[in-house]
Amino acid sequence: MIQANKRVNSLGIASKELVGRIQEKDINKLKSSAQRVPLQRCQRWTCDLLEDIERKGLITAGWTAHFRGRIEPSPHE
């Protein structure tokens, strides 16, 4: 779920990286991307979402490639 102004400084989050800031006028573009990306493992879903919002120009290009290389292998695939 994408929520505006949701705090991310939680003890349950080991680390975080800021990939960009979404302007308020672009929130609906982000939400439509999140709904369009097919459900799958969370790391792959996140990378597919990043790819879509890069394509829309909402974040700087290169983040998808950065994170795709860090996807952990699944024992179920």
Give the pLDDT score at 8. Answer: 67
How far is residue 38's CA from residue 45's CA, in Å, rounded to a whole number?
Answer: 7
Q: 20 near 58, Cβ under 8 Å?
A: yes
> Residues with Cβ < 8 Å from 14, sequence gap 6 or more?
none
pLDDT tens digits, the chain, 77 residues: what are they?
566 677 767 777 777 888 999 999 999 999 999 999 999 998 999 999 999 999 999 999 999 999 999 999 988 87
Residue count of the chain, please give it.
Answer: 77
What pTM, to 2 d.p., does this model score?
Answer: 0.82
Give the pLDDT score at 2. Answer: 60
